[in-house]
Structure formats: C-alpha cells, structure tokens
Structure 1
C-alpha cells in the first residue's frame, strides 16, 4: 500500500489527500477491520480492489455532480419546511386570530407548539437517522408534515389548531438534523459552511417569496374558505407533491448513490477522508452517546442554539405583527416583510462565505451578533408613531441579520464532531437547544404588549450579547482540545503539528511561516468510526 505523500513536488499533489490501496487485504489492515462495526466505505474500497487518487480535476467533477443532485432537493425541502411553519404568522395577518377566537397567549403557544413536539421527538430522530436510510427518512418526513399542514384548513379552534401544529412539529423534527447529516455525509469541511448556509438561507427566500405568494393568495375570494385556510391548503398540498420527488431522487449515501458510477463513488469517499468523520455506519453505539453527553462542546453548542433561537422564535412568530404595529395595513405588512428576507439571505450566505475565506467560524459569528444588537436598541428607543415608520423599519431589517448565526453554529458543530452515532446525538442536542429557544421565544411576546413589545425586544438584546461571550468561550475550548490532540500525537510518535487538508482546496500546497511545505494529516483513522475525542488525528476548527 502506497503511503500518502507530503505536498512538496507539484507532480505529486494528487497524492496529498488519498491513500492508494493495491490489495483489499492491505486496505483492511491499514484502515481497520471491515466488519459490521466499521464504516461501509471500507467495504466499497475493498470490493473495488483499492482506493482511488483524488485530484483537483476529479474532485471538481464529482463535487459538481453532487451539488446538482443534492442542492435542488435540499433547498426545496427546507424552503417548504420554513414556509409551512411561517404560514401561522401569515395567517395571523389574514384573520386567523379573530376567526379562531385566539386570545391571551393562545397564538404564542401555537407558535411554540411545533418546537415542543420537535424537542420531545429528538431522541427518536437521532436513533432513526443512524438506523434508517437518509433519503427515505427525508421523503417520509415531508409527506407527513405536508398532510398535517393541509389538515389545518379544517381547524377553526385553538385545540384543533394545536393538534395540527404538534403533528407538524413531530414530522418536521428530523429535517434539520437530517440536513446536517447530509452535509457531513457528502461534503468536505471546507465546503460545509456554504452548502449548509445555502439551504438554511431558504429562511430568507421564504420571507421574500413566501410573503409574495401569501400576498397573492390573500386576494383570492372564496365562499368556502377563509384566506388563511387557502394558505394552509395550498402550501400543504405543494409539500405532499414535493415528497414524491424526494423519494425518487434523494440518495441515501455516497456508498449507495445510483447517480454515481463506481469510480465516482470512490472519489466521493476519498473527498471525505480528510474530514476524519467517517461516512456511513448503521450501528448505534452507546459509548458514542455517552461521550456526546459528557462532551463540553455539546453543551456549548446547546447554549449557543438556545441563545439565538429565543430571539428567532419570537421574531419569526411576531415579525409581521411588529411591522403592522408601525401603522401599516395588512397587505402592506406582508409586502414589507420581503426586504427582511433579503437581508436574511445576504447575511446567511455572506457569513458562510466569510467563514470559508477565514477558515474560522467563531469570529464571523461574533461579527453577525452586532447588527441585531443595534436593531433591538433602535426598536426599543425610537418612538412608535407615524413620523418614525422609516427608522423603525430600518431597525427591524437590521435585526434580520440574526438568521446568519444559526447555520454557522450548525456548521461549527458538524465540522467538529466525529463518530456516526456521536454526530447524530450531538445534532440532537443542538436541535433540542433550538427547540427550547423557539418555545421560549414567542412566549416573551404577547399581543397585549403591542405596539412596543418591550419585554420581547429587551430579552432579545440581552441574548445577542450573551452569544458573543459563549462564542469566545467555545473558541478557547476548541483551541485547548487541539493542544491535547497534539500531545497525544507526540506520545504516539506522530508529528506534533499537522495540516487539516479538509479545510483547504484539493491539491493546494500548504506551507508554514518559513515557506516550507507542511506534512499532511495521515488519515489512517478516517473510516474507523472513531469519535473526535478518541481520534488523535482529528483537528478542531474554531
């Protein structure tokens, strides 16, 4: 078996990020036992008689094929998921509150109910994502939540609406975790922020085009349905139709993907070797669960998601009502939500691009916290009267930078966690944190506090400040873990410093401060399904 080369000669760049296997037996010896407990990528390599060589050319070709197949599906599903959750806020503008006789905190709890269901079902979701093929899981989820949304058409009371919202939450509970799993499963760590940010940016697209769709649907006059019922029915049926396309075209993994030939599957696997995160393993490992629950990182991610999701849950549910409180009509309120979505889109993709360029996420996250802090202060200090509509809108739009924070936290966690079961459990912990925040968020706002919504905005301001502190703590801890792994490598006779090529372009020559090419990370642990803590070759990214 030929060893991975250092990146000194230009004609040997193709060897930088691959290990060529000449015999299946040697592959098994170098990469670990190919029994049922190991990554399924090992079996594919053995069946093929060895690995392949990753070059800039075949990497770009396979990445393009992966993007063309996966991204349209991911973007469509997440667009519909966010749109379906947002139908409640759109419906509130078109008379849902009055027609369903919602009063007190009833409307707030309809907003929170989805996240209560998601929170309760996260442990089951984590287990299913290890045991069930990913593509089939996503298709079934989309079908069932589309049916649940369609059923809201017939719900005209608080209990009926709450039942439908709880079902919606149950069937949507696995969407974000499965999307994070897809990102880890198909993309190098360098590529993950942009891809993860792209599907999460659908939140902004929803606020733009969802508002326009709703504006159009709001003009439909029917003797059978109220305008808000038309909104529920239309988007629910679109989701049901989309689930069929997901079932037909969404692959389960690079190992089994039918749209890739055998050579491209090997390239797809080699692309991921330097991630040190594995690819596919369907065995539930309780030692991974224990490590995820005892890992300080898991709870720092949890705290970050709670801190950002409280403002997110409140503003998502009450955003249109906040704008309406500035003195705008129902239809104008919907239209004025379009720029809010545009800012979200720019912030999300801009943050992902900056994190990729800097190869760090912590500083970008701290930077993204500053505009929402300024926006909250503006809405709290500027008088809410007709003469101040413009600055109030500007403050509201500045707050809308906050959606760029959540996908970077997802990406930060995804890139710093290894081990199939641990990845799913850690993601579950994150989603629980997001659910907790989204449950609390709407309850900090009530319709009786209009037009100032002072309690909600004040709490949001405080939490954006807390986020900055948590980000700095997490960066310090990741730096500490890298030093610990460096000591472990020295004890095992390996190089103290290695280069994490998963954060660099394929074929790039990485040099130290003196201009000397640096040895790459030897990736013999890549497909052993080791957790990040147990793999001394794992490099944490902060």
Structure 2
C-alpha cells in the first residue's frame, strides 16, 4: 500500500513540475497575486538581473567568510546547550539531591523531562523554523533557555526544578533542527558532514572540560548561594549573554546576511545550486508535509536515530558507574571518563572527514558501528575483576566511538531531503526518534545489575547490529530513488546519468564530464522549492 502511494506521488510529481514549466500562474505555490512563490535565492537573482560564475577562488573566499561568521556562533551555542543540560548531573555532586529533598524517581524525572518536552514540541518547532528568520530563532531560544536555567537557582523543591527543566527542554527543542537547517542553507553537500560534525563534537568537549569547570565553581564559598545554585546561575547568565551576541551577529540566511556584499551573496547562492535543495522559503506547504510522512526514508532516519539514541542515553547516564564497576575509586573514575570525551571528539571529526573523502555516508556509518559492537562483546565476556581492569577499560573506550554516528545521520538526512517544509518536517520526525531513544536508554540499565549491567549491554549490542541493517536498507532505498529519477530525467528529455557536482570540490571536475553539461539558471530546478521527490534533477547520496 505504501509503495502504491509512493508511485502515485511520483506521477503527481511529474504533473506538478510540468505545471510549473508550462503554466506558472496555476502552480499550487502561487501567492495571492498569482505569482509563483519561489526560493528567495531565485528572487534575489531576478532582482539583480544576473547570476555569478562560481570559481575555486571565489568559492574559497566566500566559504572562509561563512565559516568565520557561523562556526564560532554554532560551536558556542551547542557547547552551552550540552553544558546546560549537564548541569543537573554536575549539581547532584554538590548537594542538589539532599538540599531539595529528592527521592525515589524524582532525580530521574528531572533528567527525562527535558527529552519529553523536546519530543512533544517538535511539530511546533518544524512549523516555526519555516515561518521565522533562523538567526532570530536561535537568539531567542538561547535567551529563554538561559533564563530557565538561571531560574533553577531559586528552585528548592522537586516541583520548582521540574518546571524549570520542562521549560529548558521546550526552549532547547529547536536547537539541533535549526543547526541542521543552517547547514543545509549555507553549505554544499560535500561540506556538510564536517560542519555538522564540528558543532556536534562539542559533546566531547563538554565531557572533557565541563566537569573541570564545574569543579572550580563548586569550590566557591558563598553565604547566599549553595554550590549547586552557583552552577545554575553561572551557566544561565553566560547563556543569556551569548544570546545577545547571537542576535547581533547570526545572519538569518545568505540572502539576508549583512556581512556578505551583494556579489558574495550571489556566490553563496551559486555554491548551493547543485545541492538542488533551495535556500530559504517561508511558505508552509502541506503537500511537503504529506510527502515527508509518506517517504520511507523519513522513517528510516527515525529508526536510525532511535536505534543510536537508546545506547547513547544509557551509556551517557551510566558510563561513570560502568567504569567504577571495573574496580576504580571515585577520583579515578572521574579522570578515566575524560578520555571518553576525547575518543568521542576523534570519532566525530574522523567520521565526518572520511564521509567527505569517500563522498558517501552509509559505508562510514556502518564502519563506525563495528567498534561499539566489539566493545559491548568485550564488556560482556571479560571477567570483571582486578586483573582485567585494562582490557575492560579498552572495551569501554571502544564503545565510546558511537557518538560519531549521530552527526553523520544528521548529515545523511540533511543531504537527501529537499523542499523547505519537507526538510523541516523530516528533521522533526527523526528528532522525535532521538528523544524517544534518549528516554528509553537509561531505563535499560539499573544499579541492581552492577557490576555487569548485562541487560543494558546486551540491548546496546543488539541495537548496534540493527543499525548496520538499517544503514544497508537505507542505502538500497536511496539507490531505488536514484533509478526512478534517472527514468524521469529521460522522460523530460534530459540525460539519465548526471554528475553530482555538490559532492565534489569546486573545479575538481570538468563541466562536461560524462557528457553532462552544467545546468543554467533558466532550466534547472534548484530554487523552485521542489521536494526531492518532485525534482528529477535531485541526486540521492549513499
């Protein structure tokens, strides 16, 4: 049944594209005056009257400007988001549980409610990200979550903490989807894995340095605030301060940016033409929503994110306890978790680099699943005694390669989805999967099962194996979609085979390689806000 609906959608796609080419005034994406609602990049080109030619030189120059403006902001926001979510565990060391009289499952719920809030609010986030300028969205989100975190300073009961954590989750719900949208909006598909990996790698930086910063804050003596309150207030106020900088310096899009001159804006647009994904359109399109839910790969992204987030949620929560179960004391346990962040950082950036070099993400993702599988087997089979501390620790560090998987799934989805509304809805679908996984993960581990944690490790082992299967299934489905697009291109009088220029460095291949000419502004679909199904020029990346 689903396959029949997909085939019907393909037929509708051809009719829709033909209607745009033949009768623009009757296109379903027309405005109230009967003019087509197209991507704002195409509007800028029409206003200026020409498009520029992309060369290796102007591409490098504009890319450098974009990186210098965007990456410091994205890295700072994501570092603070991960640090702010971690303040609860840091504060627990400095008397939060005792001072606020937490007992039973109260502390666990304070951790879970953030992901519950993010799960519930994803549909609203998807809509808002289409309708509002993305730079302002990030600034307001950071401001509001900074205020929520600062308010935790005054919360001295479970109810008060729960409300603050709830709002923290609500205001952080749009950060990862917005970052994915920023990456799609500013970077060629070849460039996306490293940029997505760079801000996601802040998780590793937080694991390495967050506890050290908190350790220093916890030793501040105050007659007014408890140590855990100082932690909440310090990071909350810093986040509020950073939100002001985001408001001032974060551009809403290449078209609206003030740090790029007009010619540079045209270069920024040309850089993204071969992505075939568009740049900016603030119209919410229900046909995009329908297609996102009918598209099998939307649910494969969902399944992939949930499958990796369940082990992630469990290992993140119980990682220190697993290390302690090897026979290390408290101080050594803390110190031995620092390399966990270093391995995470190396795996994230290494996986992103390899995906860029290979121009494929599926094989790299499958490769990244192998070390965690081996690590789980080691922890399950090696005796937990003093004589085997070293091998057990090696197994734990091998498992810690898994964080490199998540940003590559982000990138895989980001590079294989087109249409402004469809991009946001698809991101919302797999972020829900991520939230569900993060909620389930910690429940698979219990302190009663120490020191083996057999149920948690067995479930993680199974899920890493499931991930490999899902990756292969998704690669097969993407190959099927590429074959269908080849047939559609032939039906439209185009060449069946095309070179995916977005996956190569500018100037790395000639314009007529394999007989494929560079498409001109007038005859391509890059900025018509078509979905990847509707655009026969779209090439799916394995």
TM-score for the superposition, normalised by structure 1? 0.90
For these two proteins, the number of residue pairs brought into alignment is 512
Contact 1:45 1:51 in 2 (8 A): yes
Q: More displaced, 389-398 or 368-377?
A: 389-398
What does residue 336 of structure 2 align with?
Answer: 336
Aligned counterparts of 2:226 and 2:443: Cα–Cα separation in 1: 27
Flag the 1:136–1:331 CA change in 2: closer, same or farther, 3 A: farther
Contact 2:300 2:470 in 1 (8 A): yes
Contact 1:91 1:228 in 2 (8 A): yes
What does residue 354 of structure 2 align with?
Answer: 354
Aligned counterparts of 1:516 and 1:91: Cα–Cα separation in 2: 60
Flag the 1:374–1:196 CA change in 2: closer, same or farther, 3 A: same
What does residue 74 of structure 1 align with?
Answer: 74
1:65-123 alpha-carbon deviations (Å, 9 max, x no partner): 00000000000000111111122232334444444444443333222211100010000
What does residue 508 of structure 2 align with?
Answer: 508
Aligned counterparts of 2:229 and 2:384: Cα–Cα separation in 1: 32
What does residue 190 of structure 1 align with?
Answer: 190
Shift of 1:419: 0.3
What does residue 158 of structure 1 align with?
Answer: 158
Contact 2:495 2:516 in 1 (8 A): no
What does residue 250 of structure 1 align with?
Answer: 250
Does structure 1 residue 481 correspond to structure 2 residue 497?
A: no
Flag the 1:316–1:175 CA change in 2: closer, same or farther, 3 A: same
Q: More displaced, 299-308 or 80-89?
A: 80-89
What does residue 459 of structure 2 align with?
Answer: 459
What does residue 377 of structure 1 align with?
Answer: 377
Aligned counterparts of 2:383 and 2:228: Cα–Cα separation in 1: 32
What does residue 107 of structure 1 align with?
Answer: 107
Aligned counterparts of 1:333 and 1:225: Cα–Cα separation in 2: 28
Shift of 1:499: 0.4
Flag the 1:215–1:336 CA change in 2: closer, same or farther, 3 A: farther
Aligned counterparts of 1:48 and 1:61: Cα–Cα separation in 2: 21
Aligned counterparts of 2:214 and 2:486: Cα–Cα separation in 1: 55
Unpaired stretches in structure 1, ≥5 consecutive residues: 1-27
Aligned counterparts of 2:230 and 2:456: Cα–Cα separation in 1: 30
What does residue 498 of structure 1 align with?
Answer: 498
What does residue 287 of structure 1 align with?
Answer: 287
Contact 1:212 1:334 in 2 (8 A): no
Aligned counterparts of 1:348 and 1:341: Cα–Cα separation in 2: 10
Aligned counterparts of 1:96 and 1:454: Cα–Cα separation in 2: 30
Unpaired stretches in structure 2, ≥5 consecutive residues: 1-23
Q: How does 1:72-471 map to 2 (within 5 A)?
A: 72-471=72-471
Q: More displaced, 454-463 or 168-177?
A: 454-463
Q: More displaced, 521-530 or 88-97?
A: 88-97
Flag the 1:487–1:149 CA change in 2: closer, same or farther, 3 A: same
Q: What SS does the corresponding residue of 1:54 show, helix, strand or coil?
A: coil
Aligned counterparts of 1:207 and 1:192: Cα–Cα separation in 2: 24
Aligned counterparts of 2:383 and 2:97: Cα–Cα separation in 1: 27
What does residue 15 of structure 1 align with?
Answer: none
Shift of 1:33: 8.2
What does residue 12 of structure 1 align with?
Answer: none
1:352-404 alpha-carbon deviations (Å, 9 max, x no partner): 00000000000000010111112222233334444443333222221111110
Aligned counterparts of 1:105 and 1:381: Cα–Cα separation in 2: 31
Q: More displaced, 440-449 or 349-358?
A: 440-449
1:110-139 alpha-carbon deviations (Å, 9 max, x no partner): 222111000100000000000010000000
1:403-462 alpha-carbon deviations (Å, 9 max, x no partner): 100000000000000000000000100111111111111222234444333322221111
Contact 1:500 1:521 in 2 (8 A): no
Q: More displaced, 179-188 or 369-378?
A: 369-378
What does residue 56 of structure 1 align with?
Answer: 56
Q: More displaced, 312-321 or 39-48?
A: 312-321
Aligned counterparts of 2:165 and 2:448: Cα–Cα separation in 1: 23
Aligned counterparts of 2:225 and 2:444: Cα–Cα separation in 1: 32
Q: What SS does the corresponding residue of 1:498 show, helix, strand or coil?
A: coil
Q: More displaced, 461-470 or 225-234?
A: 225-234
Shift of 1:521: 5.5
Shift of 1:491: 1.1
What does residue 5 of structure 2 align with?
Answer: none
TM-score for the superposition, normalised by structure 2? 0.90
Contact 1:211 1:337 in 2 (8 A): no
Shift of 1:223: 4.5
RMSD: 2.2
Q: More displaced, 84-93 or 488-497?
A: 84-93
Aligned counterparts of 1:509 and 1:329: Cα–Cα separation in 2: 57
1:176-218 alpha-carbon deviations (Å, 9 max, x no partner): 0000000000000000001011111111111111122123223
What does residue 18 of structure 1 align with?
Answer: none
Q: More displaced, 192-201 or 85-94?
A: 85-94
Aligned counterparts of 2:45 and 2:309: Cα–Cα separation in 1: 42
Contact 1:185 1:280 in 2 (8 A): yes
Flag the 1:358–1:370 CA change in 2: closer, same or farther, 3 A: same
Contact 1:501 1:521 in 2 (8 A): no
Contact 2:511 2:518 in 1 (8 A): no
Q: More displaced, 161-170 or 413-422?
A: 161-170
Flag the 1:442–1:479 CA change in 2: closer, same or farther, 3 A: same
Q: What SS does the corresponding residue of 1:494 show, helix, strand or coil?
A: coil
Contact 2:499 2:514 in 1 (8 A): no
Q: What SS does the corresponding residue of 1:154 show, helix, strand or coil?
A: coil
Contact 1:360 1:541 in 2 (8 A): yes
Aligned counterparts of 1:99 and 1:282: Cα–Cα separation in 2: 48
